[in-house]
C-alpha cells in the first residue's frame, strides 16, 4: 500500500503544493509517507491552546491542518493499530515549525 501512495504523488503535484504552500515535506516511516506543509503561526497557536485540554486531539487537528496527502482515512487506518503515529506526526510537524530550537542563555 505504501508504494501505491507514493506513486499517487507526482512531481507536478509537489510543484503545485510548493507554489501554493511554500515548503512541502514528506514525513516518512517504514509503512507510511505523509506529505505536509509546514505549520504556520496560526496552526501552532491553535495547537498550543488545544494541548491544554487534549494532547491527542490537538495532535490530530495539527495533522489535519497541515496534511496534503494521503487522505486522513488512510492515516486513521494506520492509527487504528498504532495510535501513537498521530502523536509522532504532530511532533515532527511542530519540529518543522521550530518547536525544538535550542537556545543557550548567558548572564549579562
* Domain CATH for 20: 3.30.2220.10
Strand stretches in 1-108, DSSP E: 24-28, 33-37, 67-69
Q: Is residue 101 part of a domain?
A: no
Phi then psi for 40, rounded to 5 degrees?
-100, -170
Count of domains observed in the chain:
1
Cβ-proximal residues to 7 (8 Å cutoff; 6+ apart), any chain: none
Q: Is residue 103 part of a domain?
A: no
pLDDT tens series, the chain, 108 aa: 455 555 689 999 999 999 999 999 999 998 899 999 999 999 999 999 999 999 999 999 999 999 999 999 999 999 999 999 999 999 999 999 998 888 899 999
Q: Is residue 108 part of a domain?
A: no
Give the pLDDT confidence score for residue 91 in this predicted structure. 95
Give the pLDDT confidence score for residue 31 in this predicted structure. 85
Cβ-proximal residues to 83 (8 Å cutoff; 6+ apart), any chain: 56
pTM of the model: 0.86
* Domain with 67 in it: 2-95
Rg, C-alpha atoms of the chain = 15
Q: Is residue 71 part of a domain?
A: yes
Amino acid at each position: 500500500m505504501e508504494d501505491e501512495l507514493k506513486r499517487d504523488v507526482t512531481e507536478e503535484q509537489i510543484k503545485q503544493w510548493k507554489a501554493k504552500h511554500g515548503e512541502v515535506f514528506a514525513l516518512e516511516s517504514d509503512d507510511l509517507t505523509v506529505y505536509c506543509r509546514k505549520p504556520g503561526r496560526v496552526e501552532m497557536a491553535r495547537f498550543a491552546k488545544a494541548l491544554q485540554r487534549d494532547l491527542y486531539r490537538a495532535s490530530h487537528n495539527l495533522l489535519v491542518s497541515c496534511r496534503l496527502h494521503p487522505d486522513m482515512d488512510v492515516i486513521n487506518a494506520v492509527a487504528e493499530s498504532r495510535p501513537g503515529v498521530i502523536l509522532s506526526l504532530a511532533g515532527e510537524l511542530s519540529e518543522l515549525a521550530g518547536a525544538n530550537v535550542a537556545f543557550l542563555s548567558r548572564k549579562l
